[in-house]
Chains A and B, each alone.
Chain A
Amino acid sequence: MLKDLRNFKESLLFAVCLLVSGYSNASNGDDVPRIILALGRLHPLILHLPIGALLLTFFLDIVGRIRKNYPKQIIKYALGFSSLFSIMACVFGYFLSLEDGYSGKTLDIHFWTGILSATLITLLFLLCDKENKQLKRLFFPLFVGTIVSISVAGHYGSVLTRGDNFLTEYIKAPPKLQTIEHIDSLNMYDNVVLKIFDDKCTQCHNTTKRKGDLALISKESLLEGGESGDVISLGNSRESLLYKHIMLPISDEDHMPPEGKPQLTKDELWLIKYWLDNSGEVDNKVVAIAKNDTLNKLLKKYLVFEEKHIEEAALGAIQDVEDEGFLVRKLVPTEPELWVKYNNKVIAKEAVKTLVDLKDQIVELDLSNTSLTDDMTSGLRKLKNLEKLELNNTQITDKALKHLKHLKALKILNLVGNDISEQGLENLLTSITPEHVYAWKTKIDQRLAQKLSNDFDVKINSGVTGFVETTQLKVPFMVTKKALFVDTISIKLDSKLRNTKIFYTLNGDEPDTTALQYTKPIMLDTNATIAVKAFKKGWNPSETLKRDFYKVNHKVSDYTITHQPEKQYPGSDKLFDLELGTLNFKDDKWTGFLGNDINTVIDLGAVKPVTKIAVDCLGQPKQWILFPTAVEVYASNNKASGFKRIGTMKTNKDNTNDMPLIERFFVEIPKTEARYYKVVVKNPKVLPKGHEGEGNASWIFVSEIMFW
């Protein structure tokens, strides 16, 4: 009978081994029969039986040996009981492992130690009534080994279900409470969401137990998603699978966390939604939230904030500081923190001393561009909450930095333009670690700044290099605007930049450094094309500026005109003012005629020779301004009659240009002497076919009529 049972048990063990090996390559929970999975759920019930029985047997074994009254029979039955249930536990355990979410190294260890334990227990059962002396001696060590084996199996089993922290959680030093000084700059994922996951989700969603193939223990694992793909959709909680599951009604099978496990609170749900809706990246920061914002309130409830309590400043103290010439402002009106800035250049030691009365409240202090010296800075050490200190362009040296060693809260330090050395800053950085130090225009160059940055993990800025390589000089500025003159003209140039040399030629040739150098205004008494170029050491020479200067022979002062110009672009006197128009038709130099020719009679005062006449015109078809079709010149010695045509110039302009253009139309005249000259500038009169204003009257714009 006993033998049969033994045989049966052996074959069952074999069958299980076969079953295990047959299934071990398998597959997920989907194709496992439900009955198998149901049996698997009995594993936690069964597994405690062999453990208890085995321990009791061990106890009886030792007591029996000590009392010299060994209960052989009881031990045999007990071991039989343990063996049976340990094998069942193995089988059911295997079934349980076929469910989703169990995998990895921990499971493997549990699996094999479990089988080892069952095997050892069965072996003990087979050995316990053997009379062989050697086997008897082996029995006790084997028993101890079995206890060890089952302990190991049990431990890994508990790691599987409760996480590897379960046993040691209260043995290890308690984890530091998350203390955050400001809600500002808090990382929503690291500080809030991960904490929620840790509390409520990672028991089942970790790397050892990966329910639904999802682990929520890190940013990376979160982004990997689970068996249904991505679980979060950043910027949109409604599209996020994770949010959908936690929002399902608790009766729903897919609701998370599963019924019976600790549920997410309303606040936690809100925080997760906020995080998903407002993030483009997982670990976005929360920046600047108003005091009464919902997020602010929830976070305050949820996280432990290191409350930095600062008293409100006394109004009298603020008044005293303001009386010393400081500007005092609250950073936020409802909070006590202050921003203080010195308003003048000259600062006195007494003034700096008054700041001590606000030592708790000042978080930002600006003493830049003042006459601050080292001996005034000793009081600064008391400003224990100071986060930003601007000392740029003062007269401090390394000595002042010694006082700053006590400013533990300092985040930004501006030392630009001071006599600060590497040693001075290095000494300071051994005591405090601000985030950012500005050290441009100090003795600390780029290389030293880089070194200090690396050594102390502080961003040190020592100015910009390599931004501009070689800069080209700008063409000299021609102060003289006029291009026409009667007798002489003085041309003034300005290089704009100190120590720039200007060279020029009068014939339009490209100037170099051997050309004429500009030292005083250039006097011209004849036509010239001035070419100008600027040179300076360390700069590329400028481009060349060329400008034509015309000497005209006659300054017109007496004339009549048949059709007056339109009133928007008036002033027929501008036709003879020796000032040329620019490409801007509204520049007040142009005279505009709509649909009319210019018909003007000029009185030169006496009979005078004229050889050439020029008219400056603007063409800008988009503005309905066309070039004239022709310029005609007549001469007479009688103001009212007897005009004889002496020259005509057909312009042949097609008015198709997109951009405004200025053209000068010359009319060559066979040598004529007369007192009165008539100039007619022919307007095309109507806008041509194809123009957007086709059929409407056309404009002509003239800035100057010149006589030679």
Chain B
Amino acid sequence: MEELSQHFINNNRRHFLKKMGLGIGGIAAASLLDPFSSVAGSNPADELALKLPHFAPKAKRVIYLFQSGGPSQLELFDYKPLLDKLRGEDLPDSVRNGQRLTGMTSGQDKFPLVGSNFKFDQYGQSRAWVSSLMPYTAKVVDELCFIKSMHTEAINHDPAITFFQTGSQQAGRPSMGSWMSYGLGSLNENLPTFTVLLSRGTGRPFSQPLYSRLWGNGFLSSLHQGVQFRSGKDPVLYLKDPEGMSRSERRKMLDHINELNQKQEAEFGDPEINSRIAQYEMAYRMQTSVPDTMNIDDEPEHIIQMYGMDALTPGTYAANCLLARRMVERDVRFVQLYHMGWDQHFDLPSQIEKQAKDIDQATAALIMDLKQRGLLEDTLVIWGGEFGRTNYSQGVLTETNYGRDHHPKCFTMFMAGGGVKPGFTYGETDDFGYNIVKDPVHVHDLQATVMHLMGVDHTKFTYKHQGRRFRLTDVSGHVVHDLLS
């Protein structure tokens, strides 16, 4: 008897607290889906939800081509002839300046400098340096905004990727796409706001896996987590109706479940119930919108030719690029691609050749395809990995072969479209390609800049969780105004 009354007391107290506090978040989440719904209009909570964007955005959508593993800037974009001259000589301590190393090379007694095995040249009107590994990218440099002075804090893959995606090296915070989904809401009603596409590179096929928490919602509502689209028979898992179930039956079932859920919500006020209702509804609409998005049969041959034949093989980077375009055409706000296999510690020349071939044509094609469709106007494309690679060889340096270890102190990324300067190169590294000498851009700076392009002031976009206001850029980050067009 006592237990029962305790239960009622607890329940009432919890009930009360939820109604007073957390409940508001739930309504805010619902209003994100539809800012003009009557719920949103009548509740003070939507003040919080509707204050974004802070100013008119230059980019409405983002395609983030994450090159997982850490592509070697020295083989692709950052031309350092000095390294060819000093090939085999030890990295001077004055250049290394006490930089910590990974456990993989800290035992080496010599750090032989090594330049790129691949020829560099300048291309386009912007005269940007690109190596022979990226012939298609070289054709589109006048659309690209290179940042040669990226630097990060992490030195190993998982913390470094987590840092890029969530602004913190420790797991648990929302991914960039989740923040955007939460802050800016959806631009379409039939597809998720934040989607994820994965591909494995041919350079190093059995590299580190990626964890789904990288596109997780952290402390935000689960509505905002990235939805992974797979290459197999079921692009989105558990979306299909079981055999024998008609769409109208499904509708009826959902209506009844929603009714029950709404009752429950009215009683307990748990915001996750609202999220659940919204997710069921989204899943129902996705039953038709996903197959439509994934079906590339209607792509004409010249488009396939542009992206390369790989685009016809589901699960490849090229196919994912093509899908990314189809998604932004359908106003998916944040499309996150991951291409694995850039972690080339050994046999770098042969591995990077294959790896670059995976992505070169499709990346360039994606940018040009977006451009000819007018989508590049307000779609931001970001290309880059979690860190760079060392200017010295990991393992034995031979005539033709070498490897490179992780290097967080400088690496190259590029962006295109959505309000960044086309045909522009920013930042500089020293002749050794080891340190930055001009205009460093920290990961938080890049995040701040991307948010800025999407109309968000990164210092004002926070979420209070466990007594602290969190933001993607944590407590730092500056918008790099020079990158903006």
Q: Is A496 interfacial (CB 8 A cutoff)?
A: yes
Shortest CB–CB separation between residue B42 and chain A, in angstroms? 11
Q: B156-164, B251-259, B363-371, B405-413: which lies at the A interface?
A: B363-371
Q: Is A527 interfacial (CB 8 A cutoff)?
A: no
Scoring B41, B140, B347, B481 by chain A CB atoms within 10 A of each residue's CB, the highest score goes to B481
Residues of B within 8 A of A231 (CB): none
Q: Is B445 interfacial (CB 8 A cutoff)?
A: no
Number of B residues whose C-beta is below 8 Å from A?
Answer: 55
Shortest CB–CB separation between residue B302 and chain A, in angstroms? 8
The CA-CA distance from A293 to B368 in the complex, in Å, is: 35
A438 and B368 in contact (CB under 8 A), knowing A284-B481, A291-B54?
A: no
Q: Indicate if the CB atoms of B373 and A440 lie closer than 8 Å.
A: yes
Q: Is B136 interfacial (CB 8 A cutoff)?
A: yes
Shortest CB–CB separation between residue A652 and chain B, in angstroms? 24
Q: Indicate if the CB atoms of A315 and B206 lie closer than 8 Å.
A: no
Shortest CB–CB separation between residue B38 and chain A, in angstroms? 9
Closest partner residue, chain B, to A185 (CB atom): B485
Q: Indicate if the CB atoms of A287 and B309 lie closer than 8 Å.
A: no
Residues of B within 8 A of A583 (CB): 205-206
Residues of B within 8 A of A632 (CB): none
Residues of A within 8 A of B56 (CB): 184, 288, 331-332, 335, 337
The CA-CA distance from A380 to B347 in the complex, in Å, is: 60
Q: Which of A235, A287, A331, A463 contacts B484 (CB 8 A)?
A: A287
The CA-CA distance from A585 to B205 in the complex, in Å, is: 11
Scoring A184, A290, A293 by chain B CB atoms within 10 A of each residue's CB, the highest score goes to A290
The CA-CA distance from A319 to B34 in the complex, in Å, is: 12
Q: Indicate if the CB atoms of A586 and B206 lie closer than 8 Å.
A: yes
Number of A residues whose C-beta is below 8 Å from B?
Answer: 61
Q: Indicate if the CB atoms of B372 and A332 lie closer than 8 Å.
A: no
* Docked complex: B308-354 residues within 8 A CB-CB of A: 308-310, 312-313, 331, 346-347
Q: Is B235 interfacial (CB 8 A cutoff)?
A: no
Q: Which of B313, B346, B439 contacts A280 (CB 8 A)?
A: B439
Closest partner residue, chain B, to A334 (CB atom): B51
A658 and B55 in contact (CB under 8 A), knowing A341-B331, A463-B372, A464-B368?
A: no
**Per-residue interface assignment for chain A, residues 585 to 613, with 1 indicating a CB less than 8 Å from any chain B CB and 0 otherwise:** 11000000000000000000000000000
Shortest CB–CB separation between residue B289 and chain A, in angstroms? 11
A438 and B313 in contact (CB under 8 A), knowing A279-B481, A315-B41, A583-B205?
A: no
Q: Indicate if the CB atoms of A658 and B346 lie closer than 8 Å.
A: yes
Q: Indicate if the CB atoms of A328 and B36 lie closer than 8 Å.
A: yes
Shortest CB–CB separation between residue B36 and chain A, in angstroms? 6
Q: Is A318 interfacial (CB 8 A cutoff)?
A: yes
The CA-CA distance from A660 to B310 in the complex, in Å, is: 25
Q: Is A473 interfacial (CB 8 A cutoff)?
A: yes
Residues of B within 8 A of A291 (CB): 54-55
Q: Which of B53, B189, B308, B364 contacts A327 (CB 8 A)?
A: B189
Q: Indicate if the CB atoms of B373 and A392 lie closer than 8 Å.
A: yes
Shortest CB–CB separation between residue B104 and chain A, in angstroms? 11
Q: Is B306 interfacial (CB 8 A cutoff)?
A: yes
Tally inter-chain residue pairs, CB-CB below 8 A.
Answer: 141
Residues of B within 8 A of A287 (CB): 58, 419, 452, 481, 484-485
Residues of A within 8 A of B346 (CB): 658
Q: Is B3 interfacial (CB 8 A cutoff)?
A: no
Q: Indicate if the CB atoms of B41 and A467 lie closer than 8 Å.
A: no
Q: Is A322 interfacial (CB 8 A cutoff)?
A: yes
Q: Which of A331, A416, A660 contacts B372 (CB 8 A)?
A: A416
A278 and B481 in contact (CB under 8 A), knowing A412-B374, A416-B374?
A: yes
Q: Is B380 interfacial (CB 8 A cutoff)?
A: no
The CA-CA distance from A474 to B452 in the complex, in Å, is: 41
Closest partner residue, chain B, to A584 (CB atom): B206
The CA-CA distance from A184 to B410 in the complex, in Å, is: 32
Residues of A within 8 A of B278 (CB): none
Q: Is B35 interfacial (CB 8 A cutoff)?
A: yes
Q: Is A414 interfacial (CB 8 A cutoff)?
A: yes
Residues of A within 8 A of B455 (CB): 288, 332
The CA-CA distance from A235 to B312 in the complex, in Å, is: 47
A461 and B313 in contact (CB under 8 A), knowing A280-B439, A332-B455, A471-B305?
A: no
Q: Is A343 interfacial (CB 8 A cutoff)?
A: yes
Q: Indicate if the CB atoms of B189 and A464 lie closer than 8 Å.
A: no
Residues of B within 8 A of A318 (CB): 36
Q: Which of A334, A337, A467 contacts B136 (CB 8 A)?
A: A467
Shortest CB–CB separation between residue A210 and chain B, in angstroms? 30
* Docked complex: A333-348 residues within 8 A CB-CB of B: 333-335, 337, 341, 343
Residues of B within 8 A of A471 (CB): 305, 308-309
Shortest CB–CB separation between residue A156 and chain B, in angstroms? 43
Q: Is B304 interfacial (CB 8 A cutoff)?
A: yes
A436 and B482 in contact (CB under 8 A), knowing A331-B56, A463-B372, A468-B305?
A: no
Closest partner residue, chain A, to B365 (CB atom): A467
Q: Which of B36, B305, B373 contacts A416 (CB 8 A)?
A: B373
Q: Indicate if the CB atoms of B55 and A288 lie closer than 8 Å.
A: yes
Q: Is A5 interfacial (CB 8 A cutoff)?
A: no
Q: Indicate if the CB atoms of B54 and A474 lie closer than 8 Å.
A: no
The CA-CA distance from A335 to B140 in the complex, in Å, is: 37
Q: Indicate if the CB atoms of A288 and B58 lie closer than 8 Å.
A: yes
Q: Is B426 interfacial (CB 8 A cutoff)?
A: yes
* Docked complex: A487-502 residues within 8 A CB-CB of B: 496-498
**Per-residue interface assignment for chain B, residues 16 to 36, with 1 indicating a CB less than 8 Å from any chain A CB and 0 otherwise:** 000000000000000000011
Q: Which of A341, A392, A497 contacts B312 (CB 8 A)?
A: A497
Q: Is A390 interfacial (CB 8 A cutoff)?
A: yes
Q: Is A23 interfacial (CB 8 A cutoff)?
A: no
Shortest CB–CB separation between residue B427 and chain A, in angstroms? 10
Closest partner residue, chain B, to A390 (CB atom): B374
The CA-CA distance from A461 to B372 in the complex, in Å, is: 6
Q: Is B7 interfacial (CB 8 A cutoff)?
A: no
**Per-residue interface assignment for chain B, residues 472 to 485, with 1 indicating a CB less than 8 Å from any chain A CB and 0 otherwise:** 00000000011011
What are the 10 tightest A-B residue pairs by CB atom distance, in nearest-first order?
A280-B482, A474-B309, A438-B374, A496-B312, A414-B374, A290-B54, A333-B50, A287-B484, A464-B368, A440-B372
Q: List 10 A-B contacts (CB under 8 A).
A: A287-B58, A288-B452, A318-B36, A332-B56, A333-B50, A461-B374, A464-B369, A468-B305, A496-B312, A497-B304
Residues of A within 8 A of B (CB): 184, 235, 278-281, 284-291, 293, 315, 318-319, 322, 327-335, 337, 341, 343, 388, 390, 392, 412, 414, 416, 436, 438, 440, 461, 463-464, 467-468, 471-474, 477, 496-498, 539, 583-586, 658-660
9 additional A-B pairs beyond A343-B188, A392-B374, beta carbons within 8 Å, are A184-B56, A329-B187, A388-B377, A390-B374, A392-B373, A412-B374, A464-B368, A583-B206, A658-B346
